[in-house]
Amino acid sequence: MTFDFELVGKIGSMALIDRKAGIIDYTRVARLSRELRPGYIWVSSGATEIGRLDYMQRTGREIAGEHAKTDYAAQGQGILMQTYRQFVDPAYSVRQVLVEHQHFNDEQKSEHLKGLLLRCRKQNAIPIVNYNDAVSSEENRRLELLALSHDRKRVFECVDNDETASRIACLVRARTLLIFTSVDGIYLNPDDETTLVQTIGGKDAYELTENIEEHKKYCIGASRAGANGARAKLEYVKDAAAQGTTIYIANAKYSIAEVLSDSVPCTKIGVEL
């Protein structure tokens, strides 16, 4: 298979935050940012939580009400992008790409997004992708997805950036999909670190998909309230794995290079592993 992109990577909110200090983990962001280069697409959560922490530091209180997530995201987006721009190699351009579910459920919008991402690679730019929480209404989104489901067998929500990263990997035919999280990968027993699943493979796409489904039954819980957890990660990556993309689910304490060189513990998913 011919791949248009070398890597689609994703990092979650909890992996970007220094919980004890209540700020961005600048050491981690700096380390990862310095590894980014053209040919990589970086999907980054964190804007909402970063906006919340920034607001609290400035006011000493949290925002009350149903629109808090929207307001926090609007405040955090600029800080998130500024942080990446600070540490990415200055020889490369950095471009913010905010997406919503319609970009993956509408063929024309998908092609427009794909064109943007392909131009980034050619123009020496690194796209930083995030879901556009600042303008997304949960109620409207639910109604729009319901309407779409009447005409389609599958509808992509993409509020979870694991799903966003996986859909982008399919869209641009990425060689590798790297999902950074706060643990080392998928476990047969989440309470026992010795049960880390190092590989999920198969001789072809059909067998690989069956093996991914088999491992989903071991996945229980999530790293934080509102997260979909390891089970959802495995569901989201199935299409990418079936098209030939190699998937890594790894701990964000490691570097991109360490994970891709198979030198640190993680879960690797792909055909004929």
pLDDT digits (tens, 9 = 90+) for 69-99: 999 999 999 999 999 999 999 999 999 999 9
Contact predicate 88/96, CB 8 Å: no
Q: What is the mean pLDDT of residues 211-226?
A: 72
Helix (H), strand (E), coil (C) string for the chain: CCCCEEEEEEECHHHHEECCCCEECHHHHHHHHCCCCCCEEEEECCHHHHHHHHHHHHHCCCCCCCCHHHHHHHHHHHHHHHHHHHHCCCCCEEEEEEECCHHHHCHHHHHHHHHHHHHHHHCCEEEEEEECHHHCCHHHHHHHHHHHHCCCCCCCCCCCHHHHHHHHHHHHCEEEEEEEECCCCCECCCCCHHHECCEEEECCHHHHHHHHHHHHCCCCCCCCCCCCHHHHHHHHHHHHHHCCCEEEEEECCCCHHHHHCCCCCCEEEEECC
What tens digit of pLDDT does each residue of 145-183 get? 666 677 776 888 878 999 999 999 999 999 999 999 989
Distance CA 42, CA 172 (A): 13
- pLDDT at residue 148 in the model: 64
pLDDT of 215 over the 90 cut: yes
Q: How many CA atoms lie within 13 A of 114 on its CB side?
A: 15
Domains and CATH numbers, the chain: 5-271 (3.40.1160.10)
Cα dihedral sign, 252-258-261-263:
negative
pTM of the model: 0.91
Cβ proximity of 12 and 180 under 8 Å: yes
Question: What confidence score (pLDDT) does residue 141 get?
Answer: 64
